[in-house]
Amino acid sequence: MSEYPPTERTRVKRKRDRGSFDRDLVHAILDEALICHVGFASEGQPFVIPTIHARDGELLYLHGSPANRTLGELADGAQCCVTATLVDELVLARSARQHSLNYRSAIVYGTGREVTDPEEKQRGLRAVVEHIAPGRSAEIRGPDEKDLETTSLIALEIEEASAKVREGAPGDKERDLESPYWAGLLPVALTAGEPIPQPDLPREVALPEHIKSWRR
């Protein structure tokens, strides 16, 4: 098991058994989460912004437009905290106190850099498309020079990272076990509905397999 080295920031203070530095687990959470939440502080004021990300090995790309304030701050070298969270189950206890959610979250700390090299930008943008819909990058038009100019991409080395997982049953105490209340878990997941084709699609363009079979 390959692990990220624990640091002051990533050490999970509460309920240590929920914390992990396992690389595969951090990667899996980042890959499954459609979006992340990027935090940075500007003059002491924290901001938390939902952002599309993609992972390429130990690089995390954050995607946006050049006018995006968050990416601007990150390009300027702001310390950031990127968090991706998946909710897996509602934890429904007999007592109000023991209600919770089963979840997996990954946190990456670091300083980003703006991607300016056109080849890396191509790779990063491809990773973003593959993150949203695996298999799709082969069935679209890739970015040209102007597309690259009008896209901003921040790259962050995944060096300082951790995961946190809650799983399992509600923690009702002995005294509540005989109560007349239902308790258990309710699994929840992000699922796809019916695709909505663009009305102006040429008739011969069929729904591709990677969309038909999309799942998270």
- Closest approach of Cβ 31 to a copy of itself, in Å? 15
- Which residue of 101, 113, 123, 135 would you call a contact of a copy of itself, by CB under 8 A? 101
CA distance 55 to 38: 14
Site for a copy of itself in 4-33 (CB under 8 A): 9, 13-15
x-or-dash string of contact with a copy of itself, 156-195, rule CB under 8 A: -------------xx-----xxxxxxxxxxxxxxxxxxxx
User: How far apart are alpha carbons 100 and 89 in whole angstroms?
Assistant: 9
Among 5, 119, 141, 145, binds a copy of itself (CB under 8 A): 141
Q: Which lies closer to a copy of itself via its Cβ, residue 3 or residue 72? A: 72
Q: CA–CA separation, 177 vs 136, rounded Å?
A: 49
**Residue range at the interface with a copy of itself (CB under 8 A); choices 23-31, 111-119, 139-147, 154-162:** 139-147
Between residue 112 and residue 131, which ones bind a copy of itself under the rule CB under 8 A? 125-126, 128-129
> Which of 52, 58, 59, 114 is close enough to bind a copy of itself by CB under 8 A?
52
Give how far Cα 185 sits from Cα of 103, 171, 188, Å.
12, 11, 9
Instruction: Report yes or no: 114 and 80 within 8 Å, Cβ to Cβ.
Output: no
SS3 state at 209:
helix
Those residues with Cβ within 8 angstroms of residue 146's Cβ, 6 or more apart along the chain or in another chain: none
CB of residue 147 to a copy of itself, shortest distance in Å:
4
Q: φ, ψ for residue 158 (rounded to 5)?
A: -85, 90
